[in-house]
Every structure is written in structure tokens, then in C-alpha cells.
Chain A
Amino acid sequence: MNTKLRHHCRSIRLRFAEAILDKLESTTGIVQRHLAECPRCRRLATGNARLRLAMQMLKTQPHDADLLMKANTRAIGVLKHKLRDLPQAEKLRHARPRVPIYARVGKYTEPVSRAAACLVILLVIRLGVFAAMTKIQDEGKTAIDEYYARNLDQDILDDLL
């Protein structure tokens, strides 16, 4: 391995360490070019990819909705009797994980965005139609004015003559 390549290794690995798990862009040109040449960093990149994948799998592994309830019930079970009988303890026995607001709202985003798009289209159509109608009306009025102005003059002239 030449010295230039080795010099790059340090900065590349530092970038990896920063990028991994933070979803930062690690596939910039310089990194890609270096990976094509350096087998050690390529191996490290493989490790990073595996680590990221494994971490995502750990985070997304689903559990029962009543796991918190079960855990609380068991934990409260070993506390003092008086504590177990408090209303607060009873509430904890029936606690369920709170669903984050973005997850709750998430299912409505698509229909809401479609409805918004429809509204925008309707608004644009309406504005367009009205603008066109006003334009047609103006042009028609101008044409009639010109016609009358032209013909009225002739008629008046005819009558006069």
C-alpha cells in the first residue's frame, strides 16, 4: 500500500465512524474512490454496513403492546404492599407504550396531501377560468365598442346624407 493511500485511510475511517448510525452521507466521491483501491477500508466499510443493519434490526424488532404492562405489574409486585395499592400503581399496571405523534399522524398524511393537491388544482382551475372569462369579456366589449363606433359613424353618416 502506498503512502498516499495510507494517509487517506485515517481520514476515511474517521468519516466512517462519524457517518455510521447517524445516516450521514458516507458515499461521497472521495470515499468511493478510496474504497475501490483500499482493501482494508473496504473491509471496514463492510463492517460498518453490517453494524448499521444490525442496529436497525435491533431497533425495529417488534414487541407485544402489553410488554410495558407486564413489566410494570411484575416490578410493582415486589414493592411494599401499601405502594402496590396506590392508584398510581394501578395506573402503571395498565400502562401502554405511547405511540409517537408522527406515527399516529402518519397514516393521515397521504389522504391529507391528496386532498390538498386537489384543492390546489381546483383553485388554479378556478383562477384560470375566471381570468380567461374576464379576458374574453373585455375583448368582446372592446370588439363591440369598435364595431359600434365604426358602424354607428357610418349609419349616422348615411342618415345624415
Chain B
Amino acid sequence: MTSSAASWRMLLATAAAEVAVDSQRWILVAMQKNGEKIMTMLWRILGNEQDVCDAYQDTFLQLAHWQGGQKPDNVRAFVFRTASNTAVSILRRRKVHDKACRAIAEETTEFYSTQVGGDLDANQLRETLRTYITRLPEQLRSVILLRDLAEMPYSQVASIMGISVASARVYRCRAVQLLSAWMARKKEFSQS
């Protein structure tokens, strides 16, 4: 009697596990559908493999645990917004870390002697833009990240952000104006 009850319990547990797997299969589907675009966007924001992998993992971890493993209404919007926010957080942390490192390196004066050659300007330019993107207000930043770095059409950007296409255009226009004004500041540009 007890053995049959135990076997029933095991059977039920197995069935529950199967249901759970089936109910979370959409995570893999989301990864398959959006993974490549997210990875490209993350790479452009972060420019570092390790950070890209961290942000990517964090994004899907958050997706898997959202409200106890439930599926969000708009999975695409969820993953893109989570990925961009995670990337920007990582970028900000990295900037703080870099600043501290630079302060230490400047004391030893070895830092600048190692950065020679043609790559300096390209890297500097990329890092400057990344820094300025993190400084943008949230809405403007999201539009720039989705429209320019993830290369999405305005219609998709608008649906992910839950705004109209016209608003997305206006936000991008403002973001571009701000970024170019910051990029024009030569003094800060050369220091960053």
C-alpha cells in the first residue's frame, strides 16, 4: 500500500516537473529569437566579451525568475529592456573602476606610456561615446540603444518602450542633439 502511494507521488512529481519544463520552454524560444540581436547590442554597448556574457546571462536569469517564473506579456520588450539596463549598469560600474585605476596609474605615470599607436583614438572615441550614452536620461538612452545599437526600426523601438513612433523619433532627436553637444566639448572629450 505504502509502496503504491510512493510510486504515485513520484509519478506526480515527474509529471509536475515535465509541466514546469514545458511551461518554461518559451525562455529557450526567446533566446533563439532574440539572442543574436541582444548579443550584438550588448557587444556594442560594452565592447567586452566577459561583460557581454555576464549581461546576457543576467538578462535571461531575470526572465526565468520574473514573478516566480511567469511569462511576461511582451517577452521581446522585457529582454531588450533588461539587457540594455543591465549593460548600462555594468558600463557605469566599469567607468567608476576605470576612473579609480586611472587615478592610481597617473601617479605611477606608466599608464600613458603603454597606450601608443593608432588604436588609441578609436578606443577613446568608442569609450567616450559609451560614457556619454550612460549619462543620457533613461528614455533617451533606451531609444538610442534600441534604434542605433540594436538597429531596430522605430516601430519596434516604440512597441518595446510602450510609446508612440513619433515620441520615439523625438526622443532620438533629443538624444542625438545631447550626444553631439557633449562630443563637441573638446576639453572633456580629450580627458575622458
- Which residues of chain A are within 8 angstroms of B128 by Cβ–Cβ distance? 54
Write out the residue numbers on chain A whose beta carbons fall within 8 Å of the beta carbon of B59.
75
Provide the residues of chain B in CB contact with A61, threshold 8 Å.
Answer: 43-44, 47, 126
Are A44 and B126 in touch, CB under 8 angstroms? no
> Using a Cβ cutoff of 8 Å, how many contacts connect chains A and B?
140
Bound-state Cα–Cα, A67 to B53, Å: 8
Contacts of A35 in B (CB 8 A): none
A146 to chain B, nearest CB (A): 74
Give residues 126-146 of A contacting B (CB, 8 Å).
none
Also in contact, A54 and B183, with CB within 8 A (given A79-B64, A88-B32, A92-B28): yes
Stretch of A2-10, A45-53, A105-113, A147-155 contacting B (4+ beta carbons < 8 Å): A45-53
Q: Is B80 an interface residue (CB 8 A)?
A: no
A104 contacts partner chain B, Cβ-Cβ < 8 Å:
no
User: Is B36's CB under 8 angstroms from A47's CB?
Assistant: no
Which residue from chain A places its CB closest to the CB of B151 in the assembled complex?
A: A59
Q: When the two chains form the complex, which single residue of A21, A53, A72, A88 contacts B148, counting CB atoms closer than 8 Å?
A: A21
Bound Cα distance from A88 to B49, whole angstroms: 24
Instruction: Tell whether, in the assembled complex, residue B183 and residue A17 are in contact, meaning their CB atoms are under 8 Å apart.
Output: no
**B122 within 8 Å of A by Cβ?**
yes
Cβ < 8 Å to A, chain B residues 92-130: 122, 125-126, 128-130
The size of the chain A interface, using a CB distance under 8 A, is 44
Residue B187 lies at the interface, judged by CB distance under 8 Å to chain A: no
A20/B52 in contact, CB under 8 A: no
Are A43 and B184 CB-contacts (below 8 A) given A75-B31, A79-B64, A83-B25? yes
Are B176 and A17 in touch, CB under 8 angstroms? yes
B70 at the interface (CB under 8 A from A): no
Q: Which of B1-49 contact A (CB under 8 A)?
A: 17-18, 20-21, 24-25, 27-29, 31-32, 35-36, 39-40, 42-44, 47, 49
Contact of B129 among A48, A54, A77 (CB under 8 A): A54
The interface of chain A, by Cβ under 8 A from chain B, is 13, 16-18, 20-21, 43-44, 46-48, 50-51, 53-55, 57-59, 61, 63-64, 67-68, 70-72, 74-80, 82-83, 86, 88-89, 91-92, 95, 97-98
Provide 8 A-B residue pairs closer than 8 Å at the C-beta atoms, listed in order of the A residue: A18-B173, A50-B180, A51-B176, A51-B183, A57-B126, A71-B39, A78-B60, A78-B61
